[in-house]
Structure 1
């Protein structure tokens, strides 16, 4: 199958699309650095992200199921790798910069807490008097402030295009002329140093990373839900999109069961969604005819996305997973306990700074409660599941019962 737009072929070895991010025309870094003789700016960003401590910690952070519930369930790290693979596939087919798409995908969850979204809910509650907590803003904070690997600056000093993609991969954060006071504090603070143009869309590469996140979520949460026994193969037929896939598998492979069937379902979900995004995005590209990355940013709507039919299927899959996996009594019981762990740790650290490791303790002359709270939130958000549980045991002499 081939698609063509403006003389470029949708698959094969054609040149980069005119609206793709061009690494030779990058807007650069907040702190200027000499160019690399062997890597583009986006390749360097990808490598910096992979070598960061925050990236390594994703290996022991919950996606849906806790790390000790089974070796085959996704962690935040394996989810991130799957998103990066899908993002690269989309970028390759659409003639985008694969390295930028991968860098955005690899960085998009660096700010996630232990215990998945339960940890984010807990931190947002305890931080509500101090500006709240948002994992996307925390990801920006990680790569611009909290990683300390270089002698001349905090953070990873990523290129403008990677940072804007991280912050805006799900779309503009501000309506034109809107007040930035509504934004998370970390994003407002960084915007004072470097304007990420929060009222525009990000690059097509960042949009590819965002839709890759949706595809990965749908596919791997079906997989993990089936393996955990929270979903049944027959139950998937409640979703018309999945029922169609099941029928096609039964026609092609009558009698297939067990892991082979599960893997075939997941493979076909990913394939159908990727092919839909490529076809729909090519149609949008032909209609919009963007001639530069600026044309993508100012288009006023996403350039990369699902067709209306597949968007409806995506919503149906997510609603099914929400009801049958994320809100399952077994999962909810564990996550309520996990939220309580982080809330207790926050309260202890806030009332007793000596309970924090030396490098995380506020200075004696720092009496501002908001700054103290944010420092504790940074520490808690960076924890792995296991480290949070160990800290609970150290401070309260009890291992939490997570069900």
Structure 2
């Protein structure tokens, strides 16, 4: 009677249910199950050996020793609230397949047309993103990067993300990623890395914001070099500088550039962002683009070929004048640039000519000696001259003092 009463509370396994237990050599698929007095008769076929089984089990044996591995015929007797949660989770998981701008729908942003164009027309269609985003200042490049991250995360294309930027921008990146996209990034500092005894903070955290100059430090770099990433973002990427002196001269790479070279090989996607990509030096610009693809940008010819396309898969730059609201109104007020001349007094003209001659002569000598620092210092003298007589007098005094000290 005890088994009979227990049997009344047991739901019989439905056809095609997969069961496992000590009564079979492995998992079995149920063909039929029926109550037989106080017991259960189960006819099944083994999944691995295709053997037919006919077993009669007591209610206690079935409850304590048999495990259901996979349900069979649907009974629709589950909790409807849990079913609703499951379907909602699946709907959100697949939403990107039906909403072409899913990140916009789930983020706290009102993107502008040029931002949508960059993310959904130029970046997301690329199977492997290696891109320089070089819009004018104020275009909202951080928002574009956030939309890109959100889309790639939802599509399960990226999990580990590293953002390297100037120290002054680290808090802004963290704040905007959380407030606008609900993505929580960890700020790594020298103290947090040193305090993680026995743990590599670059490996432990999947979403990281850090200062570019912090990553360069000798005691920090080895830990970073151990990590791999799905997406690396360099903000203010013009700081990743490298120079070539002469057509076949040696390439002088800054530490920031060499760090970017290493990380470029340890990430699937690489996004560079800067408002000043070109400094008037084609070779410097080519070396920056070579971080994205060193084969495509192996020469200046390759650079021009890759960027002359209507829609380059590597580069995008829009000026403020071209940016519009959805109704066609300009986003930024028009800029008017005018050079206003003014006459110089005779003594001012003499000083201007003398400084110009000194700078031109010094620049020529600096170029021949491949001393870029001297060339930069001389160029600054012209700015000081345009500032005031006092400024150029002070600068020339310091310059002559340093020159005399070097000669001694």
TM-score computed with the length of structure 2 as normaliser? 0.25
Relative contact order: is structure 1 or structure 2 higher (C-alpha 8 Å, sep ≥ 6)?
1
TM-score computed with the length of structure 1 as normaliser? 0.26
Q: More helix per residue: 1 or 2? A: 1
Which is greater in Rg? 2
Q: More strand per residue: 1 or 2? A: 2
